[in-house]
A and B are shown apart, each in its own frame.
Chain A
């Protein structure tokens, strides 16, 4: 795969189709798009109900937690679909087959991300439907302010996915656990369900540099019925672009190392 020739929409669609076959025939993959979304919606919805009753925050408490988990699934689904899309090719030892076709790196990532969008719709749709059915929380009531927030979270999710791919290219399949580990680290640091002031003081500066922190802060304001905080949104947008550029540079560098050191032998 190389990044230099013109992009072929046919090849992008073909990669997406290949991963549709995988989802269609690998029941365990439905855990990410159905099982965990249902579990998360029930868990955080119930926690919200309990805390709203005990602390007297009312329906707002439920809304904070459910909006948080729904938006977190945007990051999670974007990241996990990209990372596992690449990992699928290493698991099935298909990497060499792909690398000797005209497929470029960009087309591969675009194809996996394209199908990842479909998985994201399924995963986020599942959380949203369960939240509506069991807790009468309608995410669409938050309004169109959600659109830029979702776009930012999508970019960050894909960026984390690229970083995971880069690390796997460099150190091999032993790094696969990071596909789930990195996102698990991002979740508490980003203040998905609480302001970063609730974090231990030592972690707050780290949280402040994450674009997800500002995206979730903006989302909480909107859920609370306030106007969209443009300053938080701007910080999140700038941060997400920087993250994406750094992630792309990192995976490009790791691919160069992969080719230079002949690491394909790990996958044949």
Chain B
């Protein structure tokens, strides 16, 4: 894939926190329509990498480019092409769901976001929640609203951090189907982190495993499992978690 088509390109990312080397030279690129899982045990550097990709944490070394815009100088322009949701983020209090979505749609540049909000709510089957206050929702419903928020402006890159962690299996299935549809229809690239390896195998065409702040595997789920001599991604995850634990000791 040529660099002109790549939605996300991160090169040689390094991040140190005092004496800890959190990310030690990560290279990552994601192409349009590609669904990529960023995986690894706790402490592997996933969250720090995600935060650097989003421009929230500044790398000590390396470059992040999104839709042709380099961070941090062109962060605002780059973020216009990115949607982000995290399973752990609550909705702001004192806002109804429709108000929350409308405000964020405007922050993403939609001057008249009404139709986009209704369409996005319908896409994930939660139109009935539009008038609810954020603090009246269950954790699963809040997660769904967060994902709707991330897709309102039809981003070129969708970054989701543990998106289905608090969802029931049937709702998680709907979310995966909705995400796959968005990626197929709009050629949206998806970068997702999850500790649910079965979910990742179902949703992602490619997985990138981090361990000790480095990329240790990059390929299709089957290729990565075979590379480590395991049956599936869960086996790879457990193997890397054990390695990470030994390193910590």
Contact = CB atoms under 8 A, between A and B. Distances in A.
B128 interface: no
Interface string A2-34: 101100101101100110011011100000000
A92 B84 contact: no
Nearest to A103: B107
B151 to A, nearest CB: 14
A62 B56 CA distance: 52
Interface in A64-116: 89, 91-94, 96-104
A89 B82 CA distance: 21
Contact of B56 (A22, A25, A96): A96
B109 A10 contact: yes
Given A100-B56, A261-B17, A264-B57, A21 B107 contact: no
A2 B72 contact: yes
A260 interface: yes
Given A92-B90, A92-B93, A96-B86, A4 B57 contact: no
Nearest to A111: B107
Interface in A227-268: 256, 259-262, 264-265, 268
A2 B89 contact: no
A191 to B, nearest CB: 39
Q: How large is the interface on A (under 10, 10 to 19, 20 to 34, 35 or more residues)?
A: 35 or more
B95 interface: yes
Contacts of A8: 109
B194 interface: no
Interface string B74-86: 1111011010101
Given A10-B111, A11-B106, A102-B76, A264 B56 contact: yes
B124 interface: no
Contacts of A93: 89-90, 92
Contacts of B75: 2, 4-5
A14 B54 contact: no
A2 B55 contact: yes
> Which 8 residue pairs spanning A and B have beta carbons closest together?
A5-B76, A2-B75, A92-B92, A25-B94, A14-B106, A100-B84, A259-B58, A101-B107
B90 A102 contact: no
